[in-house]
C-alpha cells in the first residue's frame, strides 16, 4: 500500500461532510482508486462494505432497482456481505459504479437517510455512457485522482526527506550545484520512465527491471484500448490515443486530427475527443487566441494539443508494437542522451505535473510579421489578471526566443516567466530557470 496524497482529501471530506454528501473519485483506470478507498475504510471506520459492481451478482444489483425500503436494502447487504453496519460508523463503497447506474442514482436517497457514508469509484469513460437515463445526485462531491506524482514516487522508494528539501529550495530560490542537480535529475528521469501507475511502481520496486515494468504498462495500455473500443467500435478514439506521442514529436502547433483520421477535422469528432478526455487517460491543452483578456474567454476549442496523463505509459506506448528490447528510450532517457525529437517526454511530464497541481493547460502561438516566423509558448499559467509563460527546454536552454517575444508583446500582463530545463535552478533578471523536479511547486 503506497502513501497517497488523496488520503488527506478523504479525511477532509469525512470530517466536513459528516454524511451530507457522497464522494465520487474520478480518475483513469488503474490509478489506485479502489486500493486507497479500501485502505481508508479499514483505517477510519468501524466496518465497511465494498460492492464491486463489475463482478456483483444480479441479485445485488437488483437491490438498487427499488430503494423504497432502505431497511430491507441494508439488511440484505449485511446478510450477503456478512458485515455488520453501524450508524455513522460504517462506509459503503460503490466500486466500478458505472456497471450499476441505479446504485449511483440511489445516492440521493441514501445520503438523505444519513445512516452511513458512501464513496463511489469508477472509470469515467464508462460512467459517462451509463448515466443517460438516471438522475445524477446533487449530493455527490467529486475529487480527482491522478497517477503518483514525483513526491509520492519518492515516498514509495523509501525517500521521505528529499521533497521537503526541494520545497525549501524552490521557496528560497537556492541553487543546488551541478552534482546534486544531476543526482536529482536522474531520480526524476527514473520517475518519468517508470511512471506513476501504482502497479508499474510496484513492479519496479520488486524487480528493479524495466522489462517487467514495461510489461505491466503494456497491460494497462491494452486495458485502455479495450475500454475505448467498448464505447467506440469504429476505433477512432483508440487511434487518437495511440497517436499522441507521434503528434507531439511533430512539433506542430496543434494535434493534427486529419493526419490520424483521414478526411476528419477536430470539429467533426468533438464527441470522440470529449470521450477521450473524459477517460482521464489524456490531458488537453487549448490554444489561447488572446491571452491578454483571460484564458477561458479566448481559448480555441478546435486547436489543442493532447498529452498523456502518465509519462511512463507514453514511454511504453511509443514502442508498444515492438519487443521491449527495441525500446531505446529507457536507456537514453536514464542516461540523459535523448535525441532532440524525443524531448516530447519532458513536455509531457510538465503537462502532467501542472495538471496534478490543479492548473488548467493553455498555450499560445503567434506569427511575427517582422521576423516572419511563428513563436510558441508551451504553457500559459493564469494568475489573476496576469499570465505566466512557461517554456520547456530539453536542450539549448539559453535560447528562449518564444518566451522573450511573448513577454514583449504582453509586457503589461506578465507575472512570472519560467524556463524549465535539466540544469540547476537559476534566476536571471525576471526569468526563473527551473529544473524539472521543481515544477511541482508552481501553483
Establish if 1 belongs to a structural domain.
no
Cα(68)–Cα(152) distance, integer angstroms? 44
Cα(22)–Cα(128) distance, integer angstroms? 18
- One domain for residues 154 and 59: no
Q: What is the Cα gyration radius of the chain?
A: 23
Computed from CA positions of residues 51, 52, 53, 55, in that sequence, does the dihedral angle turn out positive or negative?
Answer: negative
Q: How far is CA 396 from CA 153, 161, 199, 337, 391, in A?
A: 28, 31, 35, 14, 12
Computed from CA positions of residues 302, 305, 310, 312, in that sequence, does the dihedral angle turn out positive or negative?
Answer: positive
- One domain for residues 95 and 165: no
**Residue 400, pLDDT score:** 85
Establish if 113 belongs to a structural domain.
yes
- One domain for residues 108 and 179: no
- One domain for residues 310 and 408: yes
Which 3 state secondary structure label does DSSP give 420?
Answer: strand
How many other CB atoms are there within 10 angstroms of residue 392's CB atom?
A: 22
**Residue 14, pLDDT score:** 98
Establish if 57 belongs to a structural domain.
yes
Of 109, 144, 179, which one is at a domain's C-terminal end? 144
**Residue 392, pLDDT score:** 95
Q: Structural domain of residue 233, as residue ranges?
A: 150-441
Whichever domain contains 36, its CATH number is: 3.40.50.300
- One domain for residues 238 and 307: yes
- One domain for residues 159 and 56: no
Cα(242)–Cα(284) distance, integer angstroms? 15
Domain count, the chain: 2
Q: Let me know the angle formed at the C-alpha of 386 by 383 and 392, rounded to the nearest 5 degrees.
A: 70
Q: What is the pTM of this model?
A: 0.93
Of 115, 144, 173, which one is at a domain's C-terminal end? 144
How many other CB atoms are there within 10 angstroms of residue 267's CB atom?
A: 10
- What phi and psi, each to the nearest 5 degrees, are found at residue 301? -70, -15
- One domain for residues 126 and 163: no
- One domain for residues 159 and 182: yes
**Residue 253, pLDDT score:** 84
Of 144, 174, 206, which one is at a domain's C-terminal end? 144
Cα(191)–Cα(186) distance, integer angstroms? 9
**Residue 86, pLDDT score:** 98
- One domain for residues 102 and 161: no
Location of C-alpha cell 474567454: 297
**Residue 251, pLDDT score:** 76
Pairing type for strands 90-95 and 117-121 reads parallel
**Residue 343, pLDDT score:** 87
- One domain for residues 17 and 123: yes
**How many Cα atoms sit within 13 Å of 169 on the Cβ side?**
23
Establish if 134 belongs to a structural domain.
yes
- One domain for residues 35 and 11: yes
Of the candidates 335, 337, 336, 346, the one whose C-alpha atom is nearest the C-alpha of residue 307 is: 346
Pairing type for strands 426-428 and 431-435 reads antiparallel
Question: What order of strands is seen across the sheet that includes strand 379-383?
Answer: 379-383, 386-392, 417-421, 431-435, 426-428
Establish if 254 belongs to a structural domain.
yes
- One domain for residues 94 and 178: no
Establish if 106 belongs to a structural domain.
yes
**Residue 357, pLDDT score:** 95
pLDDT block averages, 10 residues each, the chain of length 443:
96 96 94 97 98 95 96 98 98 93 94 97 62 73 96 98 96 95 96 98 97 97 93 94 93 89 87 91 94 79 95 95 88 87 92 96 87 90 88 82 90 93 94 97 93
Length of the chain: 443
**Residue 194, pLDDT score:** 98
Amino acid at each position: 500500500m503506497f502513501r497517497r496524497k488523496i488520503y488527506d482529501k478523504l479525511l477532509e471530506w469525512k470530517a466536513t461532510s459528516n454524511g451530507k454528501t457522497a464522494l465520487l473519485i474520478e480518475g483513469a483506470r488503474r490509478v489506485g482508486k479502489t486500493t486507497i478507498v479500501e485502505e481508508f475504510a479499514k483505517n477510519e471506520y468501524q466496518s465497511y462494505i465494498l460492492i464491486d459492481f463489475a463482478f456483483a451478482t444480479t441479485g445485488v444489483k437488483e437491490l438498487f432497482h427499488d430503494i423504497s425500503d432502505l431497511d430491507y436494502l441494508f439488511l440484505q447487504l449485511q446478510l450477503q456481505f456478512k458485515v455488520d453496519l453501524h450508524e455513522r460508523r460504517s462506509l459503503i463503497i460503490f466500486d466500478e459504479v458505472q456497471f450499476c447506474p441505479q446504485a449511483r442514482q440511489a445516492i440521493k436517497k441514501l445520503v438523505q437517510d444519513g445512516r452511513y457514508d458512501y464513496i463511489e469509484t469508477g472509470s469515467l469513460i464508462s460512467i459517462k455512457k451509463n448515466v443517460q437515463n438516471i438522475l445524477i445526485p446533487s449530493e455527490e462531491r467529486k475529487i480527482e485522482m491522478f497517477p503518483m506524482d514525483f513526491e509520492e514516487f519518492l515516498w514509495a522508494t523509501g525517500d521521505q526527506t528529499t521533497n521537503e528539501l526541494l520545497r525549501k529550495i524552490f521557496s528560497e530560490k537556492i541553487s543546488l550545484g551541478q552534482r546534486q542537480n544531476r543526482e536529482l535529475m536522474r531520480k526524476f528521469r527514473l520517475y518519468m520512465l517508470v511512471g506513476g501507475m501504482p502497479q508499474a511502481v510496484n513492479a519496479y520496486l520488486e524487480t528493479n527491471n524495466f522489462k517487467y515494468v514495461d510489461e505491466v504498462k503494456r497491460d494497462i495500455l491494452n486495458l485502455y484500448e479495450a475500454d475505448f473500443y467498448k464505447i467506440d467500435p469504429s476505433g477512432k478514439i483508440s487511434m487518437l490515443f495511440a497517436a499522441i506521442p507521434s503528434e507531439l514529436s511533430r512539433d506542430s502547433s496543434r494535434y493534427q486530427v486529419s493526419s490520424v483520421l483521414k478526411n476528419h477535422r477536430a470539429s467533426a469528432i468533438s464527441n470522440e475527443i470529449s470521450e477521450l478526455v473524459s477517460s482521464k487517460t489524456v490531458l488537453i491543452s487549448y490554444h489561447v487566441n488572446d491571452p491578454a483578456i483571460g484564458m477561458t474567454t479566448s481559448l480555441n476549442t478546435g486547436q489543442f494539443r493532447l498529452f498523456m496523463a502518465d509519462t511512463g505509459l507514453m514511454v511504453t506506448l511509443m514502442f508498444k508494437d515492438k519487443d521491449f528490447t527495441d525500446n531505446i528510450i529507457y536507456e537514453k532517457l536514464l542516461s540523459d542522451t535523448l535525441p532532440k525529437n524525443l524531448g516530447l517526454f519532458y513536455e509531457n511530464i510538465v503537462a502532467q505535473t501542472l495538471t496534478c497541481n490543479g492548473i488548467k493547460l493553455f498555450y499560445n502561438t503567434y506569427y511575427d510579421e517582422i521576423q516572419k516566423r511563428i513563436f510558441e509558448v508551451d504553457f500559459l499559467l493564469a494568475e489573476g489578471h496576469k499570465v505566466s509563460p512557461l517554456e520547456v527546454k530539453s536542450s539549448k536552454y539559453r535560447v528562449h526566443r518564444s518566451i522573450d517575444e511573448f513577454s514583449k508583446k504582453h509586457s503589461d500582463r506578465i507575472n512570472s516567466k519560467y524556463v524549465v530545463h535539466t540544469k540547476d535552478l537559476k534566476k536571471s533578471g525576471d526569468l526563473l530557470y527551473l529544473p524539472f523536479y521543481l515544477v511541482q511547486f508552481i501553483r
